[in-house]
A = this chain, B = another copy of it.
Amino acid sequence: INLLSPGDATLVCTTGVFGDRFVSIHQSFGLAPQVLPFEWGRAIDPDVLRKTLKSGPGLKAVFLQHTDTSTGVLNDVKTLAAIVRAESDALVVVDSVSGLACEPLETDAWGLDVVVTGSQKGLMNAPGLGFAAVSERAWKACDAAKLPRFNFDWRRMRKSIADRETPWTPAISIVAGQAAALQLLRAEGLEKVWARHDDLAAHARKLLKEKLGLPFYAKDPANILTGVVLPQGVDGVKLLADILREEGISIAGGQLELKGKIFRLAHMGYISKPDIDAGVDALARRLVGAKI
């Protein structure tokens, strides 16, 4: 809504719940985006995107997910953004709420105009803050955009930041937590943070394969979480609620059409191998009767 005006043509690539959310936001503001859906668990196909851009009208913006938390899929944002840049003048808008700091992402080097993220995933903080990285091209679009906005108006934030203030009272406790978490991330170094997530994901998948032997959901998985398909007849909602209530371990279930059918074991941000071990053990005890 900071970039667009009524009637603007946009393209949304969807690979799960959070791609669909981009579509809902468009619709709530009276826009009718072109939607390019991909099979859940599969990454966006660069060739399909290229063909669509070649045949399409002048687009104002293309919306991509870096990772979709609903399926654990990873999209090749670097390649996709290069295609958008080559084939159109559209702004490249990337949802990296769960991807940032878990998987490599470069804003300027990859030509990304807007990247949004949150405090509670790779940034290792409590939930409550959202962030947007905005390119010069995107600022121009923002200044010209006509969709109505107030609280989330980037222009108010830009104006306040110049005075070292915020336009409204921020969630100060979470801002302080974020400052501490960013110091940890900076001390570790971003390349090592990415490598840590590689390692966590490999560890989780090895354990899950050994102890559960169930199929993974995503064909093109990201280092943020592993979605696992539950056996038919297992009530996933009850399973995870039992584990949470009886053992205090929170494991995410499936969303919307995947509800009850998969679980999503997170391995991002402030999650360590012992956390993963405890989660897999709890699942193994209940699903295959392993004595752990």
Residues on A facing B (Cβ under 8 Å): 1, 24-25, 28-30, 118, 120, 126-128, 147-153, 169-174, 177
Contact = CB atoms under 8 A, between A and B. Distances in A.
Given A127-B173, A128-B173, A173-B173, 19 more contacts: A1-B150, A28-B148, A28-B149, A28-B153, A29-B150, A30-B148, A120-B169, A126-B172, A127-B169, A127-B170, A127-B171, A127-B172, A128-B170, A128-B171, A128-B174, A147-B148, A148-B148, A173-B174, A173-B177
Copies assembled: 2
A150 B118 contact: no
Contact of A126 (B30, B149, B173): B173
Contacts of A29: 148, 150
Contacts of A30: 148
B152 A151 contact: yes
Contacts of A151: 152
A93 B30 CA distance: 26
A171 B28 contact: no
Contact of A171 (B25, B126, B148, B152): B126
Contacts of A149: 28
19 contacts: A1-B150, A28-B149, A28-B150, A29-B150, A30-B148, A118-B169, A120-B169, A126-B171, A126-B172, A126-B173, A127-B171, A127-B173, A128-B170, A128-B173, A128-B174, A147-B148, A148-B148, A171-B171, A174-B174
Most buried by B among A28, A148, A172, A174: A148
A153 B28 CA distance: 10
A24 B127 CA distance: 28
